[in-house]
Chains A and B, each alone.
Chain A
Amino acid sequence: MFGFRNKSIEKGEEPAEQKTGFFSRLKQGLKKTREGFTGRLDRLFLGKKEIDAELLDELEEILFTSDLGVEASKELIELIREGVERKNLDNPAQLKAALKEKIIEFLTIVEPEVREPKPGEPLVVMMIGVNGVGKTTTIGKVAALYKNEGKKVMLAAGDTFRAAAAEQLAIWGERVGADVIRQNEGADPSAVVYDAVSAAVGRQIDVLLIDTAGRLHTKVNLMEELSKIYRVADKKLPGAPHQIWLVLDATTGQNAISQAEIFHKILGLNGLILTKLDGTAKGGIVVGISRQLGIPIKYIGVGEKLDDLRPFNAKDFAEAIFSE
């Protein structure tokens, strides 16, 4: 699944030498990172019959550099340590399998009851997230997905704030062949959503995807704006929006936890979408988020094109953390 990663980074020559010892030492360290984790764990295990402190240190490094974060990493390492103490784990091969299994377990969420649209009514999905994570692009991709299933899709340009946001969505609408409901820049986003829900019902649309303006989760008034959009949709079509998906950028570190917590608290999330996994970031932060908040990951984004969206697969994801 993650084979789309270009390998040029490993072949790359070294950056110009830095004078200070600190930098050169760091460079050395990073060179190691750039070698990637290809079979690193395996190499580590080679010639080792026991799980020792050094091995645990290396494990910690893999977890941290994949952005699993302090909490999730600590928990995973603790589990391993216990296993070793209780002699359930006594060789390195078991350890790798056990870790992966744990990560998969963390990522496997039993979906809580979902709100379904009533027969004949559109499924309404709202896409939210901080600035620049890939909401609009993901809407285009998800729209294409539904289109391929033969569904009638409509897009709502709920980002009335960012310059040319509606134009951007309109281009995606054109690409996939979906109507786009929009108003002028600066318009009230909930008014756009009200229009869109009415139009979706009127035109017997199957899926309505609502784009929203990027916002930092710490901005109280902008979060209130989201709640209002939610209320307006629900008022126009009881039960809508049926799904609220938070888009997270795989390059994001610990802050993604704060994002997920606050968006979840205010709106109640039904799913996560992890974008930009075509880079070198591992996106490990979702492991803790998924577990802590019990939110499933729906899709991953692996590029900027229409078809660069994949269903999430916990096993592949865990595999990717320990490979290249």
Chain B
Amino acid sequence: MFENLSDKLNLIFKKVRGHGRLNESNVQDALKEIRLALLEADVNYKVVKDLINNIRDRAIGKEVLDSLTPGQQVIKIVNQELTGLMGGARQELLLTGRTPFVIMLVGLQGSGKTTTCGKLALHLRKQGRNPFLVPADIYRPAAIDQLKKLGAQLNIPVYSSDKELGPVDICINALSQAGRYSSDVMIIDTAGRLHIDEVLMNELVTIKEKVRPTEILFVADAMTGQDAVNVAGEFNRILDFTGIILTKMEGDARGGAALSIKAVTGKPLKFIGVGEKLDALEPFYPDRMASRILGMGDVLSLIEKAQEEFDQKEALILEKKLRKKKFDLEDFKKQLSQIKKLGPLEQILGMIPGMGQIKQLKNLKPDERELVKVEAIISSMTLKERANYKIIDGSRRKRIALGSGTNVQDVNRLLKNFAEMKKMMERITSKGFANLPGLFG
């Protein structure tokens, strides 16, 4: 299979160089690759067909003389086309008019609605709102319980739904109770259902009519395949939903469904879910999604994430220490926890172009346990030892190994790597210490 679309295209266009313009036949070869990339990413077959036609029209005749990398040019066109299709500026939730606002989540079974309700509630509270949750899934066993527990975790009120009343009345009653929670946003968790289940789809229509949601959000799994267009198309036809949330995006799915759903409904993608924790909800960015679908990594996200997570102040302090050659094991540990905050190593690797294909990644899986080990070892050291690793002699090493559940070799290796790293860092102090060479050596 293709390693990296960008490499492939560059190879194809090597021949083109010097020809001046992209012609029908060399564009054709490139389009074949792009088409496969899109299909592999689960973009709907029909959507791919139309996209490819658009791209062909735009690519043929393009000047390539001035560009040393015609492959990049075509990629740029593809990227623009995808980004454009996926929507312009990012869209927040629409909360205007009279309170309480009602947000209703809908979608297939297992798409992640309940968890997303919790995430949205947290997101809204961070924005100064006062949300409360309404469990309206009376069908799946323990679904109401699940939302109650999420509410308790977040300390956000959950309406005590009476299953006997049925989803419609639950929602109507809940709305009349919003005042009791002094709440301005009510979030409804509906049961998962098939788009072809007439009875249950009608139930949603009734709820919509009765509680008039300002947002009806269609929740879809990022791993969805070709059927995404049928499901989203029906949900939108019946409910005219207002936005889309794509869940389980932290995995290795390329997420072509995003494009399919957007294409068939024209509705904006508002958020993506990136983990099981309740703060794992992120805004959706069309350009990043485009690169991801093309299998070209998500460098922008990575950069932003790094900026977000790396505490600037901390970094300055560390840098100073480094200048004064005072970087010690305690600082090292802090650095590690910063790296860990970035997310699972694999996820980070996945965001780097060319690393996205799990196939190649298989043999060089970063060992997360190694990180944990290093942290455990340092945690088992006394503060004195952390400040000056040179005092860590044989008996101290034994004690540390015992305390951290590792063995002396592990401790030796860590200390050796740390010493090497320190030396190296001190040589490049002017550049700060963005890289931690030899860490896992």
**Binary flags per residue of B136-148, CB closer than 8 Å to A gives 1, else 0:** 0001111101111
A278 an interface residue at 8 Å Cβ cutoff? yes
Q: Given the known inter-chain contacts A5-B196, A6-B198, A164-B142, please indicate yes or no for A64 contacting B149, CB distance below 8 A.
A: no
Chain B residue, CB-CB nearest to A170: B142
A96 an interface residue at 8 Å Cβ cutoff? no
A203 an interface residue at 8 Å Cβ cutoff? no
**Interface residue ranges, B against A (CB under 8 Å):** 1, 36, 39-42, 44-47, 49-50, 54, 85, 108-112, 139-143, 145-150, 153, 194-198, 221, 223-231, 233-234, 236-237, 240, 248, 250-254, 256-257, 263-266, 276, 344, 346-347, 350, 358, 365, 367-369
A: interface residue count bin: 35 or more
Q: Is the CB of A219 within 8 A of B231?
A: no
**Chain B hits for A70, CB < 8 A:** 1, 36, 39-40
- What's the least CB distance linking B48 to chain A, in Å? 9
**Binary flags per residue of A241-264, CB closer than 8 Å to B gives 1, else 0:** 000000001111111101000100
**Chain B hits for A12, CB < 8 A:** 234, 237
Measured CA separation A97–B84 after assembly (Å): 42
Stretch at the interface among A82-90, A113-121, A130-138: A130-138
With beta carbons under 8 angstroms apart, the residue of A6, A26, A285 that contacts B263 is A26
List A270-324 residues whose CB lies under 8 Å from chain B.
Answer: 276, 278-282, 285, 304
Q: Is the CB of B229 within 8 A of A30?
A: yes
Contact sample, A vs B, 12 pairs, CB 8 Å cutoff: A9-B195, A71-B1, A130-B223, A163-B145, A167-B142, A168-B145, A216-B248, A220-B365, A253-B256, A254-B225, A255-B42, A280-B196
Chain A residue, CB-CB nearest to B46: A29
Q: Is the CB of B108 within 8 A of A164?
A: no
Q: Is the CB of B112 within 8 A of A132?
A: yes
Measured CA separation A249–B224 after assembly (Å): 9
Q: Is the CB of A304 within 8 A of B139?
A: yes
List A2-17 residues whose CB lies under 8 Å from chain B.
Answer: 5-9, 12-16
A100 an interface residue at 8 Å Cβ cutoff? no
**Chain B hits for A16, CB < 8 A:** 240
- What's the least CB distance linking B411 to chain A, in Å? 22
Q: Is the CB of B146 within 8 A of A163?
A: yes
B36, B112, B224, B254: which has the most chain A beta carbons within 10 Å? B224
**Chain A hits for B233, CB < 8 A:** 15, 30, 34
Closest 7 CB pairs of A and B: A253-B225, A132-B110, A253-B42, A163-B149, A171-B141, A281-B227, A164-B145
- What's the least CB distance linking A228 to chain B, in Å? 12
**Chain A hits for B140, CB < 8 A:** 168, 304
